[in-house]
Structure 1
């Protein structure tokens, strides 16, 4: 089990990395919103890859007994959101990530590139 939301965010990022997610970023949201502590944002090349990344995140966290609260966008695969309460994973195709620009939208959040 993870002791902190930061540990959970890093576990999500690591799981995404197993499926070659690109540009993985941890956004510390606790200073800018009350709804969650972290966003984990990453990209895949295709909708098939974004679904594979989301599947890897879900499977790795289930091994720890952690289930998501909510999942959106999986069928389309352009932007898959996995809500784990204190941490929300956003898995985008490159074009969708550029279009929605979460890093700019939440510009006050502290950004940390994930390095495994």
Structure 2
């Protein structure tokens, strides 16, 4: 008990003192440093986990958008084939078939172009 921290309070009627050993002070300092280091490491780990989750969510959204785009284009192509086949078979009048084909073709091309643009933006 040679080294340490002494706190002495002197008042009119009494004197109070507290002695804190140097080992206790060093332990408290080391514990505080350890807690800071652990909290920084935890914050860093949480930030990396959040970044990874965000990247996984974006990848999942891209995959879902790709599937939806391909289904959209496939459905429009089926409608075009059906309209052309119906017109060729004489079941649908060309006045109805041609606008349906043009509208479906435009819709499929727009969606495919938007998908290609988004794919190029993502790398």
- Which TM-score applies when normalising by structure 1? 0.26
- Higher helix proportion: 2
Q: Which has the higher strand share?
A: 1
